[in-house]
Every structure is written in C-alpha cells, then in structure tokens.
Structure 1
Amino acid sequence: MQAVKQLGQFLAPYKFFTLIAPLLMVLEVTMDLIQPTIMQHMIDTGIANGDNAYVLKMFVWMIMSAVLGLVGGLGCSIYSSKAAINFASDVREKLYEKMMTYSAKERDAFTTGKLITILTSDVESVQRAFMMTLRIFVRGPLLFIGAVVIVFVTARELFSILLVIVPILIVAMYFFTKYSGVLYRKVQEAIDGVNTKLQENLAGIRVVKAFRREQQQVEQFGVQNDTLTKRFITAEQIVGVLVPFTMFIVNMGIVIALWLGAIKVEAGTLQIGVILAFINYLTIILNGLMSSSMVLMQIARALPSGERIVDVLNKEVAVKEAERALHTDIHGEVTFENVSYRYYETAEDVLKNITFSVKAGQTVGIIGKTGSGKSTLVKLLPRLFDPTEGRILVDGKPLKNYALTTLREHIGFTSQKAMLFSGAIEKNIRLGKEKATLNELQLALDAACASEFVDQLEKGMAHELSQGATNLSGGQKQRLALTRAFVRQPSILVLDDTTSALDSASEKHIQQAINDNFRDTTTFIVASKIASIQQADLILVLEDGEIVGQGTHQQLLQENEPYQAIYASQQKAGEQQ
C-alpha cells in the first residue's frame, strides 16, 4: 500500500479529472439501474391494462435515461483517460529523471532490461489499472449494490436466489484476484529476462555475428521467451476461467428464477414483469461483479508493477550533492589523497591508495596493463562514482563539495567507447556546449581532426547519425567524441584511450591541438601506448590498482622497471612492424 500512497501523489495535478470521472459514472449507473424498473411498469401497468398513453410515457422515460447514461459514460471515459494518461506520463518522466541520476552501481543493481520494463510495461500496467478503476470500479460496485437493493424492494419473492449466488461469486472473485496477482508478478520478472537478453544481444550483434553465434543466442532467447510464454499462459488461463464460471452460476440463477417465478405467477402471487426485471437485475449484478473482478485482477497485476516503480524512485543514489554545494569556477588543480575504490562492498579494491597531485594546466598520462584501474581512476573526476576511501581535491577543495552541474560543466570527458546518439552531428557536438557558435564548433572539429570527413559529407554537420552511429567508422566516432569534449573548452579534460582507433598522424595532430588550444587545461590522458603520453608533465604507471611509478617520461625510463618493460615491449613491436 505504500506504493499506492506514493504514486497517488502524481494525481494531485489531475484532481478535477479524477473526481469528475466517477461522478459521471454514477450518473450512467443510475440510469442503467432504473431502466429495468421502467420496463417492469411498462409491462405490468401499461401493456397488461392496454394503457397506450402510459406505455408511451414509460418509453420516453427510457429514452431519456438512455441518453443521460450515454452522456455520463462518455464523460467518464474522456476524463478518466485524461487523468490516467497524464498520470502515467508524469510517472515515466520522473522515473527517467531518477534513472539519469544513477551511477553504474544503481544501474547494475536493477539491470538495464529491468529498468526498460519498469519504464514501459510496468507504467502501462499501472496506467491501465488506474483508468479501469475510474471507469469501471465505480460502476461495478454501484451496479451490484443498486441491483441487490432494488431486487430486495421490488422482487423480494426471488431475493433468496441472490443469497445463494452472490456469496459464490464473491468467493470466486477473491480467489482469482489473489492468485492472479502472484502469477502476474512472475510474468513481469519473465519480461525483465526477455528485455535484458534482447538489449544485450542487440547491443552486441556485431560480436554475435563475428563469432557465428546467432543460433546459440536464438536458443538462449528462446529459453527466456518460453519462460515468459508459460507464465503468461498460466496467468491468462486462471483469469480466463473466471468468466465462464461466473456465467455458469448466473445462468443457473436465471433458470431457478424462471422455474420459481413460473410457480408464483401460476399461483397469482407474482407478475411477469417482476420476473423479467429480476432477470435483468441478475444480469446487471453479474456485470457489476465481473467488471469489479476484472478491475481487481488488473489492480492485483499492477500492484507488483507499482512496487517496482517505487523501488526505482526510492533507490538511494550513491553520488549525492552536498547541501551547500559550491558553484565557483574551477581552475584545474587536482589532488588524490589515498584514494581507493571497489565496485561492490564484497569485492576487492580496484584502486588502492592512489596519491598524486597535479597543478592547473598540466598534463597527466596514465598507463598500465589492461585491468589495472586506469579508466576507473579518471571516472572518479566527474563523480561518475565516489571513492570508497580517501578523498579528491580540486583547487584545494573536496570534490564532493562542488555542485554536480558546476563540476561537470568544467570537465570535458571522453570514454573508451565513443558514445554518440542518433540525430545530427551538430546536435551530438552541442552536448558539449549547447550555445557554442558555429566558429567554436568548427574549431573543435579541426582540433579533433574531424572536419576532414565531416566537410565531405553532403549535409556536413547536419548529417544524421543512426542509432549508435553505426553509419560511421570507429575512428570517425572517436573524433566526434573528442570534438564534443573540445568544444566545451573545459578546465579539466579527460581522454580515456580515445585515440586508439586513430592513425598516428591524426593522433599527433590532436596532441598538438591540445598543446596549442588547451594550455590552461588540466589534461588526463589514459593510453595504452607510451608515445601518446611521453610529453606529459606527470605519468602514472598503474599495476593491479596501485601506482607503481610516477614521474616524467625520462625519469620513469631511467628508474621504473614496469615502465621500462612497457617501453621495451612497444619498441620491439615497432621494430617488428
């Protein structure tokens, strides 16, 4: 119920729609309930006595009640739709906003596939339940209660039939509703598995094709899909049994009513119109119970979805902003003091006691074997995650004291994998600086060696990129990622092995552009080649998450064995080429 209470806050802007929809439904139900009574009087008073004027009068009343019912029903549908759809839209927006604050730790805790399911399927399930509640859950109980009361007042001779049928139907509703909630929770979990496998395989489709593992991946997806299919079938079969079961009980009630009514009519204690009205009210009771049961089952299905939505909204974010965050300019002096980091509490440290200091405007090169912690180290700078131990200072102030927007506005960051988004090239570059002038965009393109291929495109910077920029080569994507970082003119520039797909001439051009255009920028360069960082003011040599050497290229070449080993292996490889 906590989930219902929290999600209910999203209804506040739509109180009018939420209130007017049930009121209009009350109007429709009232009109539906009086029509069998009007028909009863038409038969027993008008037709039985040959009073055509009375029959015509009742006919007009039936038409008027039908029109009013139509107005109520249409109005309820319109306003309930507005309330439910706007409610779901706000929930989706809030979910997405929350997901954007997640660090890798929170995303891994949920998995990407589950987050996609929550943002789409779960929100849709809650939306549908809310809409059905406004439309039908008001209608069902009112029809049921109203019909029972009217039968008790106008057809008390047949009321005993309801005393048998109604308890059976209510027990059946309770059982099916309770069991369906458990089953649909398992269905949502199976959808998570399908979405995770789908997202994973689509993202890695090139690897799958390169290793000719299409059939194996199809088989693995088939396992997930079979699980979803079986759970869906089980859930739908349970729900499907409810309709024929309730119809059977109601039909038995109708048969008993006709049999008992025939006896009472023959005895002269009951009129035919009363029997017809009772059968109509019995059908109304059925509709009321059936519609209520459908809503209850949808609510039972939506409750797990609501809980999953609230879990995402309430998930505590590891990277938090200080209460009185700093919004001052950043110059770029960086100090690491005994910094350690582990991805999970039970895991080993991937960074251990990292300590170094660099002045504003200097260049830091970071090198080491694969898995030594190079990328993890530079990801600490924009606070993609925070150190487990130790602290980082920027301009002498703790990194955590800066407002996240201020900190990240002063950092130009490029990751190992050049991530570009679908849309125009210019749109991708402007992610670095939204209000950049065309001249600034062109200068950044030139510095990143990207203008040489962008200028050759028919639409230039207006050229549309496909999803994942698959219509560009790896080197072209890297150069656009560099452009995006360069156009920001940041105080701190982080290049995480972003020239690996470039030729040596382009890499030298970019290095020279950094020297010429970013003299006041503190630059961190993660590289696998010493040639990429040998001009750096400070080089850090990492091994198993620890700094095993730091100094200039010449100092390390003379004094540091791990660096000497890397240099020797790369020199030998160069000679062989």
Structure 2
Amino acid sequence: MQSVFKLTKYIKPYLLFAIIAPIMMVIEVSMDLIQPTIMQHIIDNGIADNDKPYVIKMFIFMVLCAVVGLLGGVGCGIYASKTAINFATDIRQDLYETITYFSNSNKDRFTLGKLITNITSDVEMLQRALLMLLKVFVRGPLTFIGAIVIVFITARELFPILLFVVPILALAIFFFTKLSGKLFLKVQEAVDGVNTKVQENLAGIRVIKAYNRKKHQIDQFTTVNGTLMKRNIHADQIIGILMPLTAFVVNIGIILALWLGAIKVENDTIEVGMILAFINYLMMIMGGLMSSSNVLMQIARAIPSANRIVEVLEEKPEIHNISNPIISSIKGEVTFENVSFAYNKNNEPVLKNISFRAKPGDTIGIIGMTGSGKSTIVQLIPRLFDADQGVVRIDGKPIAEYDLSTLRKAIGFAPQKATLFSKTIEENVKYGRDEATLEELIEALESSCALEFVEKFDDKEQHFITQGATNLSGGQKQRLAMARAFIRKPAILILDDTTSAVDSISEKRIQQAIANHFKESTKFIVSSKISSIRHADTILVLDDGCIVGKGTHEQLIATNEAYQEIVSTQVVRGGTLNE
C-alpha cells in the first residue's frame, strides 16, 4: 500500500475533479435509496387505499428522483474519467522520462519486457482502479450502509435476516479480495514474459527467417503465452466463485424474507409493501457489497502494479550529474588514465589499464579483434558507462564533473548499430541538432554520402523511414546515422564501425569530408578495417581489452606484431592494401 500512497501525488493536479465525482455519486445513490421506500408507500398507502392522486404524486416524485440520479451518475462518470485518465497519463509520462535516463545496467535489471508492461498494462491497471474507486467505491459502501440503516428504521421486523446474510457476504468478499492480489501479481509476471518474447522476436525477425527458426520461436511464444493463459484462467476461475456464492446467500435471504414476511403479514405486524421494499434493499446490499468487492479486487490487482511502477520511478540512474557540474564549453581534448571497465562486475574486465591522450583536432583510430573492447572505449566518452577504475578526462577535467547535457551536446556519436526512428529522413538527421538549417542538413547528407540515395526518393529528405528502417539497406542506415552525427558539428566526433556496410569509394569520400569539415574536432574512428583508420594521427591496437600497440600506420606496420597480423589479413587483389 505504501506504493499506492506514493502515487497519490499524481492525483493532486486533478483534486477538484476527484472531489466532484464522489459528490455526484452520493447524489445518485441517495436517489436510488429513496426508490424502494417510495414504492412501499405507493403499495401500502396508495394502492391499498385506492388513492389514485397519491399514487400519481408518488410516481412523479419517483421519476424526478430517477432523473436527478441520472444526472448525478453522468456527472460522476465524466469527472471520474477525467481524473483517472489524466492521472494515468502523467504516470506514463514520468515512467517514460525515467526510463530514458536509465543506463544499460538499469535496463538490464528490469528487462525491456517488464518496462513495456510497466508503461502499458501496469499503468492501465492503476487507471481502472482509480476510475472504479471514484465511480463505484463511493456507490458500494454508501448503498450498503444506507440500505441497512433504512431497513433498520423502516423494516425492523425483518432486520435479523441481515444479521445472517451480511457477515457471510463480508467474509467471502474479504477472503477473495485478499486472494486476488496474489493471483494477479502472477498474471502480471506472465505478461512480462509475453512482452519480452514479443520484443525479442520482432527485433530479431530477420535472423529468425534467415535460420528458418520460425517454428522454434512460435513454440517458445506458445509456452509463455500458455503460462499467461493458465494464470489468467486460474485467477478468473477462483475470483469467479464470488458472484454465484453471494447470489446464493442473497437468495437464501430473500427466501427467509418471504417466509418471515408471510408470517408477519398474517399476524398484521407488517404490510406487503414492506416485504417488497426489504427485498429491494437486500438486493441493494448485495449490489453494494459486490461493487465494493470488485473495487477492492481491482485495487488488490493494482497494488502489485503500483509496486512495480514505483520501483521503476525510484530507480536511480547509475549515470547522473554531480552537484554543481561543469557547464562550460568543451574544446575536445580527451585523456584516458589507467581506465578499466567490466560490464559484469563479477567477470574479467573488458578494458584493462587503458591510457592515451587525444588533442583537439586529432584523429584516433581504434582497431582490434572482435571483443577486444573497441566500442567500449568510445562509449565511455559520452558516459554511456562509467569506468570502474582510472579516470577519463575531457579538457583536463574528470568526465564525471561535466553536466551530462553539456557533455553529450559536444559529442557527435554514430554507434555500431545504426538506429533510426520511424520519422522522415530530415527528422532523423536533425535528431542530432533540431535547429539545423536545410543547407546544414544537405551538407551533412553530402558528407556522409547519403545525399546520393536520398535525392533518388520522390520526396527526398521528407522520405518516411519505417519502424526499424526496414525500407533502407544497411549501408543507407549507416550513412544516415553518420549524417546525424555530422550535423552536430561536435567538438568530439565518434564513429563506431559506421562504414562496415559502406563501399570503399563512398568510404574514401566520407573520410575526405571528415578531413575537410571537422579539422577542429577530436575524431575517434573505430573499425575492423585498416582502410578506415590508416590515416589517423594515432592508432590504438587493442587485444583482449589492452592496448598492445600505439602509433601511426607506418610506425605500427614496422614494429607492432598484432597490427602486422591484421594488415596481413586485409591484403587485396594485387598484393596492396585497400586504400
């Protein structure tokens, strides 16, 4: 319940709506409670005495009560919906903003499937709970208590029947409400599994098709989907017992009321109208208890969702600003001092005692075998991760002292996997700098050799990229990712193996554009190809997380065995390197 209280702050902006909705419901319930008493008077005083004017008067009064109740119910629905939907929207917004600040380790702890469930199913569960709380929970207890009070006042002879019916109903509702929270927590965990599997399969659909593993993945999804089905059925079957059980108890109460009422009528203790009114109030009591139980069960289902949401909202990103961070502009000097890093702190470090210095305007090439730590080095520069040991400095100051926004605005980063969004080409490239002009956009596209294919589209830079950029080739995606980095005109430019799917002619043109347009920028080029980094001012040769060679191409090819081995594997036709 503590998590629920923590989320009540999201109701405060809509507190007026949250107050009006129950008030309107009180009006509706009050009108409903009056109806059986009016009916009792019509039967006992109007029909029994053949007093038609009295019957008409009470009938008009009954219609007016029904109209007022209708207005109260409609008003409650409107204001309850406004409160619940705005409440859920604000939580969803904060969840999304929180997740965007998560580092990889934060995301790994929760898993993508669970985060998707948090922002969709869990938030929707809270929305439904609040909506029912404002609309139904006021109605249920008020109807229940009001009906009991009226029966006690107007039909005391039949009141003992309630002493039998109500405790049984209350105990049943308490038991099933408590049980529902446990059952639906397991259901939400099963939803996590389904979401995770769907996300994995959609992201890897091409691999699945290429390896003809469609049936295998369907079988795996069938397993998690079957788990969700079983937990849903189990939960619904158990909770489904409540309704027929309460109906059975109420029916017993009606039978007792008719039996006892018949005796009382025969003894002239009560009149027939009172029996009908009592049965109506008994049905109201059952309805009040049932609606209250539905709300309680919905709240019980929402509590695990609230716990999961609060857990995400209170998660502290591992990468964050210090107090009073540096916000001054960055020139681009980058220094690594004995830097070590491991993705899993229990495993061997991926980087071990990495040390080098890059002056503003320098080009640093990083090469090595797969898994040697090339990409990890450049991911430490924008603080996608923090070093476990040693210090990364920019312009002589520890990188952790910089404001994250200031730091990352000074960096143009094209990652190893080109990620594009389902927007136009212009919007994707301007993701690097929103305020860029059309001329700067064209220049960035030209520098990355993307303009040549962009101009072939009918709508050119307004060409829409589908989700996952499935309407572009690998090379086209890489070139647009580079354009996005280029348009920033950053102090530090990082290209992480961004030309692996680019032909050699285009690569040379991109290298020339970088040399012409980014003379003042510090450039980091990660590649497995010698041709991509051979002109760098300094080349770092990595092996198993360590720098095993450092120097120019000429120096390394003359003295470094690891570099020589890489060069020897990249000799092309004619016996020369692909320059």
Deviations 1:141-166 (A, max 9, x none): 00000101111111111111110111
Deviations 1:243-274 (A, max 9, x none): 11111110111011001100110111111111
Measure, in 1, the Cα distance between the counterparts of 2:183 and 2:194.
Answer: 17
Identity among equivalent pairs (%): 60
Give distance in 2, aligned partners of 1:126 and 1:7.
Answer: 10
Aligned residue for 2:352, secondary structure, equals strand
Q: Residue 555 of structure 1 corresponds to which residue in structure 2?
A: 555
Counterpart CA distance in 1 for 2:510 and 2:37 is 87
Is 1:369 the counterpart of 2:344? The answer is no
Task: Quote how far apart the aligned CAs of 1:449 are.
Answer: 0.5
Task: Specify the alignment match of 2:227 in structure 1.
Answer: 227
What is the match of residue 513 of structure 1?
513
User: What CA distance in whole angstroms lies between the structure 2 residues aligned with 1:243 and 1:337?
Assistant: 69
Residue 432 of structure 1: SS of its match in structure 2? coil
Question: Relative to 1, partners in 2 of residues 1:574 and 1:183: Cα closer, same or farther, differing over 3 Å?
Answer: farther
3-state SS of the aligned residue for 2:566?
helix
Q: Distance in 2 between matches of 1:251 and 1:128?
A: 30
Shift of 1:348: 2.2
| Alpha-carbon distance between aligned partners in 2 of 1:544 and 1:384, rounded to the nearest angstrom | 21
Whole-angstrom CA distance in 1 between matches of 2:389 and 2:11: 43
Inter-partner Cα distance in structure 2 for 1:311 and 1:346: 25
* In structure 1, C-alpha distance between the alignment counterparts of 2:10 and 2:338, rounded to whole Å: 45
Gaps of 5+ in 1: none
| TM-score normalised to structure 1 length | 0.99
Query: What residue number does 1:283 align with?
Result: 283
Go from structure 1 to structure 2 and tell me whether the alpha carbon gap of 1:250 and 1:498 turns closer, same or farther (over 3 Å shift): same
Counterparts of 1:315 and 1:342, CA distance in 2: 21
Supply the distance in 1 between the matched residues of 2:458 and 2:134 (Cα, whole angstroms).
Answer: 54
Alpha-carbon distance between aligned partners in 2 of 1:160 and 1:340, rounded to the nearest angstrom: 78
Alignment pair present for 1:124 and 2:124: yes
Q: Distance in 2 between matches of 1:188 and 1:113?
A: 11
Give deviations 1:342-389, integer Å, cap 9, x for gaps. 112322211111111110110000011111111111011111111111
Calculate the aligned-residue CA RMSD, in Å: 1.2
Give the letter for the 1:327 counterpart: I
- Which position in structure 2 is the counterpart of 1:92? 92
How big is the shift at 1:64? 1.4
CA apart distance, 1:573: 8.2
- Superposed counterparts of 1:164-563, under 5 Å: 164-563=164-563
Q: Secondary structure at the match of 1:557?
A: helix
Give secondary structure in 2 for the equivalent of 1:58. helix
CA shift, 1:550, in A, is: 1.2
Any idea what the Cα deviations from partners look like across 1:392-440, whole Å, max 9, x if unmatched?
1101111111111111111000011111111110010100111111111
Q: C-alpha distance in 1, partners of 2:541/2:294?
A: 65
Q: Distance in 1 between matches of 2:178 and 2:101?
A: 36
Equivalenced residue count is 577
Per-residue CA deviation, residues 322-343 of structure 1 (Å, 9 max, x unaligned), is 2112221111000011111111
Q: Encode CA deviations 1:290-335: one digit per residue, 9 max, x unaligned.
A: 1001111111111100111101100111001121122211110000
- SS in structure 1 opposite 2:345? coil
Q: Which residue number corresponds to residue 567 of structure 2? A: 567
Shift of 1:53: 2.0
More displaced, 82-91 or 390-399?
Answer: 390-399
What secondary structure does 1:422 align onto? coil
Distance 2:348 2:187 in 1: 36
Distance 1:150 1:380 in 2: 72
Runs of 4+ in structure 1 displaced over 6 angstroms? none
CA distance in 1: counterparts of 2:511 and 2:141, whole angstroms: 74
Report the residue type matching 1:435 in the other structure: E
**Number of the residue aligned with 2:147:** 147
How far did 1:48 drift? 1.2
Q: Runs of 5+ in structure 2 lacking a partner?
A: none
Q: Secondary structure at the match of 1:571?
A: coil
Q: Summarize the Cα distance change of 1:574–1:253 in structure 2 as closer, same or farther, 3 Å threshold.
A: farther
Q: 1:115 to 1:372 in 2, by over 3 A?
A: same
SS in structure 2 opposite 1:548? strand
Matched residue SS, 2:418? coil
Kindly indicate whether residue 11 of structure 2 is the aligned counterpart of residue 11 of structure 1: yes
Could you report, residue by residue, the CA deviation over 1:174-193 in whole angstroms, capped at 9, with x for unpaired residues? 11111111110000000100
Which string of whole-angstrom CA distances, capped at 9 and with x for unpartnered residues, describes residues 25-61 of structure 1? 1111111111111111111112111222222221122
How much does 1:574 deviate?
7.7
In the aligned structure 2, how far is the partner of 1:562 from the partner of 1:167?
82
**TM-score, L = length of structure 2:** 0.98
User: What is the CA–CA distance in structure 2 between the aligned matches of 1:413 and 1:319, rounded to whole Å?
Assistant: 18
Q: What is the rounded CA distance, in whole Å, between the counterparts of 1:287 and 1:301 in structure 2? A: 21
User: Whole-Å Cα distance in 2 between the matches of residues 225 and 41 of structure 1?
Assistant: 57
Distance, in Å, in 2 between the alignment partners of 1:377 and 1:530 is 18
3-state secondary structure, aligned to 2:241: helix
Measure the CA separation in 1 of the matches of 2:574 and 2:396.
Answer: 42
